[in-house]
Each structure stands twice: as C-alpha cells, then as structure tokens.
Structure 1
Amino acid sequence: MEALPAPMASLPEPPDGLGRRSARLWEDIVEGQELRTDELRVLEDACREVDLIERMHAELQGAPLVVKGSMGQDVANPLVQELRQHRALVARLLGSLKLSDEDGEEYDARARSSQARKAALTRWRGPA
C-alpha cells in the first residue's frame, strides 16, 4: 500500500487592506519561508509600515523639502525625517525575521557585516 503524500500546507493569505507593494512583499516572503505565528505578525507590521511609507512618499511628492518652523525659521519638511524613521523600522522588522536566502542559509546582515569588518581589519593590520 502506497503512503499518501503529506497535505500541502496552504500559504498564509495577506492581511486585508494591504497595498500593492506590501501585498507583494508578503507574498514574496511567505512563498519562500516557513514563518511562525509571531513572525507572521512581524511581517504584517512590516507590510503596514510599507503602506505608510508609500502614503508619506506620495504626500511628499511636489511638497517643499524646506518648510517654515514654529519660529518662522526654515526647517526640513517633517515628512523627510518620518520617512527615514519608518524605512529604518521596516529594515529592523524584516531583519528580525532572519530570513533564509535561496540556498536555505539564514541571512543575518549584522553577522555578515561583522565578518566583513573583521576581514577588512585583518587585511589592514596584518595577521595577529
């Protein structure tokens, strides 16, 4: 008697209300990764941040980069700083997922950066 193949687990559906780019991010990640429930929540938060970034970016188009501050002084448009902060948050959220690359190896940008730094210092200083 032949064993029946294990049922294929269905991929988690994107949360309701995601924009085009964030829905694509969701699909790209869940198609290539097996995520736990807590990781799916982090991914959803990252996707919602992507939507917020898209909205702020659209709002900034055509808006002045320099605006008047509370005392009438020229200041950077607050959306510029907000965009930077939200982009950094998306990077942290996605980084916390420790996604694997196509070869199945876990991708940890900080570990690779640390390795590259050590290699550069070794080349610069010479062997210990």
Structure 2
Amino acid sequence: MALNDPPEGLGPKGMELWLEISEAFELRVDELRILGDACREADLIERMHIELQEARLVVKGSMGQDVANPLVQELRQHRALVARLLAALKLPDEEGQEERDARARSSQARKAALTRWRGTA
C-alpha cells in the first residue's frame, strides 16, 4: 500500500474527502492518519444522517417525556469532530496565507502613504 492510498473500508463520503484532500496536498504520515480519521467520521455522519431522515426528531425519554432524538446530538458532535480534525491538518485555504499577508501589507503601506501624503499637503 502506497503512502497516499486511502484507508481500507472507506465509504463514498470518506473516499470523496480523502481524494479531494490527498490529491491537492502533500501530507505527512501523521496528517494522513488525521485525514483517515476525518474520512471515517464523514462516513459515519452520512450513515447517521440517512438514519435520521427516517426517524422521528422527538422520541420518548427514559421517564416517558418527549426528548430530542439522540441522533441529532450525535450528528452535531461528530460534525464538530470532523471540523477539529480537518483544522488540525492546517491546510491552506484557496487563497494562500502568503497572498493574504501580501495583500494586508500592501493595504497597510497604502494607508501609511495616504496618511503621510495628507499630512504634508
């Protein structure tokens, strides 16, 4: 198995995420592990989402009271976990950090020049 091969057993959503990231970025071994975990979570989220489509949003609790379906909370937690895992990869967004930094410096320089120009006029 090559370094960038997807982990075994990924479902469609996990495979989609794996390919999207692994083909766009060169990841270290530890980052590939994090990506694999995120892909498995993406598959689990998809399964829970499908299950929730057929389920009631309000179910009976242990004391017979109406409560939110536990899948709703589980989905929220797993989506938050995927967000944390992907954030841990520290992937650059579409506009790279260098471009944002350069634009910020350019904007600061322009403001400084305008301030100097207005001050001497």
TM range (shorter): 0.7 to 0.9
Q: Which amino acid aligns with 2:23?
A: E
Higher RCO (CA 8 Å, separation ≥ 6 residues) = 2
Work out the number of aligned pairs and report it: 97
RMSD (Å), alpha carbons: 1.6
Rg: which structure is higher?
A: 2
- Residue of structure 2 aligned with 1:61, choices 53, 56, 64: 53
- Residue of structure 1 aligned with 2:11, choices 19, 25, 29: 19
Report the more deviating stretch, 15-24 or 66-75: 15-24
Gaps of at least 5 residues in structure 2 are: 99-121
Q: Determine whether 1:80 maps to 2:72.
A: yes
Q: Distance in 1 between matches of 2:94 and 2:78?
A: 27
Gaps of at least 5 residues in structure 1 are: 1-9, 107-128
TM-score, normalised relative to structure 1 = 0.71
Q: CA deviation at 1:58?
A: 1.0
Q: Distance in 2 between matches of 1:102 and 1:55?
A: 29
Runs of 4+ that moved beyond 4 A: none
CA deviation map 1:34-72 (0-9, x unaligned) = 111000000000000001101111111121000000000
